[in-house]
């Protein structure tokens, strides 16, 4: 049923990195909720698997001395949703995580797997884009850190070289402090369904005006995308219904939705605007910009 040639369970990051150096074609497996389905469907035939879920340093969330938050890629969606640091500093990320799958999936599926699988529908991705998360990628021979905004390269494709492992998701203090945020997932039912469209936003309000706005979507393009036109449109506008409509309309310049059996292009374009309006109003209210604008 599962055509694999072996399974190695790493107990430390060092062990994982040296195993990947010796076996650069090995497939990393975290929760396995994407990978095992692919293997059962005949992909990665004869693959060697490297289990990483017992690497403790990859399974925690902590704040460093500069108040930057580090989220281990092995953190499950349940952990993310229940974490005190996330709940205090950017609760909208935990709530976004709470929209994915159902409880059983959230207990095993990891945020690292959700990013590395490269799906445009990944429910954590658009909020990580808004948070300007940095991704630390390591091999036995070195490391690099890249913005999550550059990680997704196409459907199912991410900037991950053979032998590389995502070891840290870093959110710096200036990227969460003072923001309100909101993620809205539109799907055909409330649980166990992939998004027809997902909309994430973060907003900073000063003197009743948008000081900064970040907007990102899943399933509005082949990869999760940020919306530079909408974000520039927002700056300096008074927080009110007219401004939010302008911002939501500008988002159409930033997306390229397509037809699929879950929803037509036209329906998705309507969702792009409607979800943005609702999410921005909520985020602005959370950031001190009045009652849902």
Site residues (vs ligand FAD, CB under 6 A): 27-35, 37, 52, 73, 100-101, 105, 109-110, 112-114, 116-117, 121-123, 160, 165-166, 192, 194
CB of 42 to ligand FAD, least distance (A): 15
Instruction: Output 13 or 249, the one with its CB closest to ligand FAD.
Output: 13
CB of 208 to ligand FAD, least distance (A): 35
- How many residues are given for the chain? 293
Dist CA 98 CA 100 (whole Å): 6
Dist CA 116 CA 253 (whole Å): 27
CB of 230 to ligand FAD, least distance (A): 23
Dist CA 5 CA 252 (whole Å): 47
Beta bridge partners of 6: 48
CB of 43 to ligand FAD, least distance (A): 10
Residue with tokens 């009652």: 291
CB of 239 to ligand FAD, least distance (A): 30
Instruction: Output 17 or 277, the one with its CB closest to ligand FAD.
Output: 17
Instruction: Output 192 or 266, the one with its CB closest to ligand FAD.
Output: 192
Dist CA 106 CA 170 (whole Å): 21
Instruction: Output 223 or 233, the one with its CB closest to ligand FAD.
Output: 223
Instruction: Output 121 or 243, the one with its CB closest to ligand FAD.
Output: 121
Dist CA 71 CA 159 (whole Å): 19
Instruction: Output 62 or 88, the one with its CB closest to ligand FAD.
Output: 62
Q: Which residue is nearest to ligand FAD (CB)?
A: 113
Structure tokens at 241: 């219904």
DSSP string computed for 142-166? EEEEEEGGGTEEETTEES--TT-EE
Dist CA 39 CA 36 (whole Å): 5
Q: Are 52 and 135 in contact (CB under 8 A)?
A: no
Residue 172's closest CA among 140, 136, 197, 200? Answer: 136
CB of 196 to ligand FAD, least distance (A): 11
């Amino acid at each position: 049923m599962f055509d694999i040639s072996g399974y190695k369970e790493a107990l430390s990051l060092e062990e994982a990195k040296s195993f990947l150096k010796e076996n650069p074609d090995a497939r990393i497996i975290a929760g396995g909720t994407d990978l095992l389905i692919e293997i059962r469907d005949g992909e990665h035939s004869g693959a060697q698997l490297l289990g990483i879920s017992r690497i403790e340093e990859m399974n925690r969330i902590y704040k460093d001395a500069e108040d930057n938050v580090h989220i281990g890629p092995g953190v499950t969606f349940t952990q993310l949703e229940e974490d005190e640091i996330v709940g205090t500093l950017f609760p909208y990320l935990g709530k976004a995580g709470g929209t994915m799958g159902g409880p059983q999936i959230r207990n095993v599926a990891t945020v690292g797997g959700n990013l590395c699988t490269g799906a445009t529908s990944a429910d954590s991705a658009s909020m990580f884009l808004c948070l300007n998360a940095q991704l630390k990628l390591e091999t036995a021979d070195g490391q690099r850190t890249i913005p999550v905004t550059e990680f997704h390269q196409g459907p199912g494709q991410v900037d991950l070289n053979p032998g590389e492992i995502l070891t840290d998701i870093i959110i710096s203090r200036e990227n969460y402090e003072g923001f309100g945020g909101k993620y809205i997932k539109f799907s055909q039912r409330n649980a166990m369904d992939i998004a027809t469209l997902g909309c994430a936003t973060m907003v900073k309000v000063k003197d009743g005006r948008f000081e900064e706005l970040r907007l990102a979507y899943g399933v509005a393009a082949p990869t999760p995308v940020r919306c530079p036109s909408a974000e520039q449109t927002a700056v300096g506008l008074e927080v009110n219904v007219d401004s939010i409509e302008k911002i939501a309309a500008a988002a159409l310049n930033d997306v390229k939705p397509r037809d699929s059996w879950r929803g037509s292009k036209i329906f998705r374009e309507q969702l792009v605007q409607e979800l943005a309006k609702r999410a921005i109003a909520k985020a602005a209210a959370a950031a001190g910009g009045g009652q849902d604008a």
